[in-house]
Amino acid sequence: MLKTPSELIKAQIANHIKNGVDISNLLKDLDISNLDLSNSIIRTINRCHESMKNVNFSRATIGYEGANNFLIGCNLSGSNFKFCRVIGKLSIKRAIARNCNFADAYMPEIEYQHADFTGSTLCGIVWVMGSLKGHGAKIPKSQIEKWGVIQV
């Protein structure tokens, strides 16, 4: 069972973010729903089927060269990934990513098979579309029309 972050842990996270220190170890076994992790460095994050709603990952750096991170089956609804940068691989297969903000996120090695992006903003995102990396994903038709992409 995940622990609710105490005020002390939240202060440690904020201090690490302020000083540009990786917060991966602080997040282990922690319920990160509703946390502000903006501008953070998260080298390692591996979770399955957890609720991670409303997390602010804006301007965060996730991963490192050669990394294989995953958030498989997680509920990311309402989270903010604006200007988030993913280095290495990140798998969000079968994730619920409804009403998220992925505007201007850099995620070239993301795998998002069967993920649900209903209601999400994807303008300016850098990712591979139209490949096996996103097979079965639910992407808002309005976003696809904005890109001028033709669905086949």
Query: pLDDT at position 151, please?
Result: 39
What would the pLDDT profile of 75-110 be if each residue is shown by its tens digit? Answer: 999 999 999 999 999 999 999 999 999 999 999 999
In angstroms, the first-to-last Cα distance of the chain is 43
Instruction: Report strand pairing: 46-48 vs 61-72.
Output: parallel
**pTM of the predicted model, to two decimals?**
0.90
Query: What are residue 106's DSSP bridge partners?
Result: 85, 126
Q: What is the mean pLDDT of residues 53-64?
A: 98
Is pLDDT above 80 for 47?
A: yes
5-14, 53-62, 98-107, 138-147: least confident range: 138-147
| Domains detected in the chain | 33-147 (2.160.20.80)
What would the pLDDT profile of 111-120 be if each residue is shown by its tens digit? Answer: 999 999 999 9
Helix ranges restricted to H, the chain: 7-18, 24-27, 141-147
Query: pLDDT at position 123, please?
Result: 87
Residue 149: band (very low, low, confident or very high) from pLDDT cuts 50, 70, 90: very low
**Contacts (Cβ under 8 Å, ≥6 apart) of 18:** none
